[in-house]
Amino acid sequence: MKRDAKSSAVKRDAATVAVTKRTTQGGAAKRGAAKASAPRGSARRAKMAPPVETLDKLRTIHPDAHCELDHDGPFQLLVATVLSAQTTDVNVNKATPGLFARFPDAESLARVDPKEVEPLVSTLGFFRQKAKSLVGLSKMLVEDFGGKVPRRLDDLVKLPGVGRKTANVVLGVIWNTPEGVVVDTHVQRISQRLGWTKNTDAAKIEQDLMRLIPREQWDPTSHLLIFHGRRICFARKPNCEGCGLSEVCPSAFEAENVGRKPKRDRTAYLQRED
């Protein structure tokens, strides 16, 4: 009886080892096949995915790439972008309908105390700071810009809570006149994976992207990379097998640890410009 039990256990172990071996070999074979299907030489082995060709491919993969912050006009986009710091667009889109119903423009927001705004944005991180920024920027818009959102980066960054990144979102999405490339967490990670930058600092990554990408592509580039990061090139477990860039991406099938951001510093918002 004992011997039978022992022999069954040995058989089970042998079967488990065989299945594990097959699975491991299958995975390796799959990765190998995908790598083998990549063009030999230059493109696959290049240290950098060719920017213009890669953007063309991304346009095919994500033909509907666009800014995912719901808005109607420059003021609402400015407000939504300020609110989006350290939170997701989905969360912002849940909060803004109520906010815009009560305060549809700069004039209405400029008149109130931030305390009145706080309950409408309290689901978002740093909501007290953000409420203060929204009232402050609305006051400045009314007093210095006739209630309208200015179209120059130098003017936009004077507004409370508005830094270069927020300003370029508004300039790019509303007028297609950004003065740089918007670098968020997705743009940062994918730029590193594609070999477009070796930097980890957003300002330096932006400079690298501005050198590599034609100016008229600066705004769409951000949306394409953000779409790709949200749907395919995830921070953890990027879907390289299902990615249309795998033949040109130098990190394909080895990307897990490339471009991962350091642990979040929860005090960072207060030190950030936006």
- Give the residues lining the site for ligand SF4 (CB under 6 A): 190, 193, 232-233, 238-240, 243, 245-246, 249, 251-252, 255
Q: How far apart are CA 147 and CA 208, in angstroms?
A: 35
| Spatial CA neighbour of 61 closest among 260, 236, 226, 186 | 226
Per the CB < 8 A criterion, the answer to whether 251 and 193 are in contact is yes
CA 1 to the chain's CA centroid? 62
The whole-angstrom separation of Cα 135 and Cα 117 is: 8
Helix or strand or coil: residue 26? helix
Q: How far is the CB of 112 from ligand SF4 (least distance, A)?
A: 44
| List 184, 201, 208, 274, catalytic entry | 184
Q: Which of 57, 130, 132, 165 is catalytic?
A: 165
Closer residue to ligand SF4, CB minimum distance, 116 or 208:
208
Distance CA 161, CA 130 (A): 7
Q: Which is nearer to ligand SF4, 39 or 97 (by Cβ)?
A: 39
- Does the active-site annotation cover 265? no
Cα distance between residue 183 and residue 165, in whole Å: 7
Neighbours of 151 (CB within 10 A): 14
Q: State the angle between helix axes of 218-231 and 185-193 in degrees (0 to 180), rounded to the nearest 10.
A: 90
Query: Does residue 105 have an active-site annotation?
Result: no
Nearer to ligand SF4, 96 or 197 (CB): 197
CB of 29 to ligand SF4, least distance (A): 18
Nearer to ligand SF4, 65 or 255 (CB): 255
Q: Provide the 3-class DSSP secondary structure of residue 97.
A: helix
Q: Is the Cβ of residue 31 or residue 151 nearer to ligand SF4 in the bound state?
A: 31
For residue 205, the minimal CB distance to ligand SF4 (Å) is 16
CB of 59 to ligand SF4, least distance (A): 14
Q: Provide φ and ψ at 123, rounded to 5°.
A: -80, -10
Give the residue from 217, 215, 211, 221 showing the smallest Cα distance to 184. 221
Active-site residue list? 165, 184
